């Protein structure tokens, strides 16, 4: 009997859903708002949020049927993130989803009522985003990852990969200098006895200057710090580094895929996929403040052997043993 009612309700929902879809989606279906640094072209959205959207699908959501997807972009400008977030607010979305700390932060600055689900790096507590990992307390939750601790770990791995290393060139975007990456990198380098040549990159074109300059400074490797703008410049950096015959250690698996030598990171795809769980729970009525921030359990070392060969570097056995992703 109960099943009968459910079937009826389901049919009704289908009917209402299809009706709503034909009417350009009524306000009854939840609106999920994506906030991106890049742009809202389908390709970019797929690249950035693919695992998240897949996760929603796995939880039974159908885009355009059981939920509406909104997207606002900053057009590769950090300063415009807040404005994009405000636009999402005007679209009265039910939840804002971002894949990066700066976007999540921008959304958090705009609203303290609409739930925000984000990947965060750095310390979300000291950044004022959440009260604690166990009970965020506000409208912000998501997956936090050890970006700061991993900075030191990356440097250690770089040193292990290229044993004779003395000086590194660091690429950092000053727009995110409020995050502790630079300081972490300096501290770790000091601890590991490595000299640092810091280069601030505000825009992609700066790389064309900075990397040849690093070569002149006779650094033995390039160290890329986390930043959304730099995330998009993986191939650019790889090309320039190869040109200068410098190995590169970066913070996301797509760097080696684009020709950089090494990367060590949490599993981004898994973290993005996990965001769907938060959105589902929030749409079902759970208060985001009651959803604990999760931390990744899986870390990946990615290496590009092609690049290693091109650079004439023979990676030690420990690195090969630890590698989760090897590009040949």
The CA distance from 297 to 147, in Å, is 13
Q: How does strand 299-304 pair with strand 262-266?
A: antiparallel
Residue 292 binding another protein, by CB under 8 A: yes
- The radius of gyration of the chain's CA atoms, rounded to the nearest angstrom, is 22
Tell me which of 4, 22, 163, 321 binds another protein, using CB under 8 A.
321
Kindly tell me which of 67 and 264 has the beta carbon lying closer to another protein.
Answer: 264
**Candidates 27-35, 50-58, 213-221, 296-304; binding stretch for another protein (CB under 8 A):** 296-304
| Farthest-apart Cα atoms in the chain, separation | 78
Kindly tell me which of 35 and 282 has the beta carbon lying closer to another protein.
Answer: 282
The CA distance from 300 to 245, in Å, is 24
CB of 185 to another protein, least distance (A): 13
CB of 146 to another protein, least distance (A): 5
Do 235 and 185 touch, CB atoms closer than 8 A? no
Kindly tell me which of 152 and 235 has the beta carbon lying closer to another protein.
Answer: 152
Pull the structure tokens for residue 103: 């976007």
Residue 322 binding another protein, by CB under 8 A: yes
3-state secondary structure of 113: coil
CB of 193 to another protein, least distance (A): 12
CB of 40 to another protein, least distance (A): 31
Kindly tell me which of 119 and 238 has the beta carbon lying closer to another protein.
Answer: 119
Tell me which of 28, 46, 92, 318 binds another protein, using CB under 8 A.
318
Do 173 and 200 touch, CB atoms closer than 8 A? yes
CB of 170 to another protein, least distance (A): 18
Residue 298 binding another protein, by CB under 8 A: yes
Q: What are phi and psi of 237, to 5 degrees?
A: -65, -45
Interface map 158-197 toward another protein (x if CB under 8 A): ------------------------------x--xx-----
Kindly tell me which of 240 and 272 has the beta carbon lying closer to another protein.
Answer: 272
* Cα–Cα distances in angstroms (integers) from residue 171 to residues 26, 79, 121, 212, 233, in the given order: 47, 20, 17, 12, 11
Tell me which of 243, 290, 314, 325 binds another protein, using CB under 8 A.
290
Exposure letters 41-52 (e unless 16+ CB within 10 A, then b): eeebbeebbebb
Q: Give the residue among 226, 277, 265, 227 at the shortest CA–CA distance from 117.
A: 277
Size of the site for another protein (CB under 8 A): 27
The CA distance from 58 to 65, in Å, is 14
Kindly tell me which of 150 and 311 has the beta carbon lying closer to another protein.
Answer: 150
Kindly tell me which of 206 and 294 has the beta carbon lying closer to another protein.
Answer: 294
Q: Taken in order 137, 58, 302, 218, is the CA torsion positive or negative?
A: negative
Give the footprint of another protein on residues 121-160 (CB under 8 A).
132-135, 146, 149-150, 152-153, 156
User: Given the rule CB under 8 A, which residues bind another protein?
Assistant: 132-135, 146, 149-150, 152-153, 156, 188, 191-192, 281, 290-295, 297-299, 317-318, 321-322
């Amino acid at each position: 009997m109960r099943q009968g009612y459910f079937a009826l309700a389901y049919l009704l929902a289908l009917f209402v859903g299809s009706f709503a879809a034909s009417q350009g989606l009524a306000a009854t279906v939840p609106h999920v708002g994506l906030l991106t640094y890049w742009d809202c072209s389908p390709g970019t959205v797929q690249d950035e949020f693919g695992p998240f959207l897949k996760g929603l699908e796995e939880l039974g959501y159908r885009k355009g049927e059981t939920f509406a997807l909104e997207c606002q972009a900053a057009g590769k400008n950090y300063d415009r993130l807040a404005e994009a977030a405000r636009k999402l607010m005007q679209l009265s979305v039910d939840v804002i989803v971002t894949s990066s700390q700066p976007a999540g932060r921008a959304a958090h600055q705009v609203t303290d009522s609409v739930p925000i689900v984000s990947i965060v790096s750095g310390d979300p507590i000291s950044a004022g985003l959440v009260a604690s990992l166990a009970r965020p307390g506000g409208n912000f939750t998501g997956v936090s990852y050890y970006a700061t601790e991993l900075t030191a770990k990356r440097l250690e791995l770089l040193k292990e990969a290229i044993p004779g290393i003395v000086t590194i060139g660091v690429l950092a975007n000053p727009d995110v200098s409020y995050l502790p990456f630079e300081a972490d990198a300096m501290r770790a380098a000091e601890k590991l006895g490595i000299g640092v040549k810091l280069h601030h990159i505000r825009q992609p074109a700066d790389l064309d200057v900075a990397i040849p300059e690093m070569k002149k400074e006779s650094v033995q490797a390039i160290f890329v710090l986390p930043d959304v703008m730099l995330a998009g410049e993986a191939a650019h950096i790889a090309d320039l580094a190869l040109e200068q015959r410098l190995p590169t250690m970066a913070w996301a698996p797509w760097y080696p895929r684009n020709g950089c030598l090494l990367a060590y990171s949490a599993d981004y795809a898994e973290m993005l996929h996990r965001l769907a769980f938060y959105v589902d729970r929030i749409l079902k009525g759970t208060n985001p403040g009651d959803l604990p921030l999760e931390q990744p359990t899986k870390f990946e070392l990615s290496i590009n052997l092609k690049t290693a060969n091109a650079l004439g570097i023979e990676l030690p056995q420990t690195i090969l043993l630890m590698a989760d992703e090897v590009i040949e």
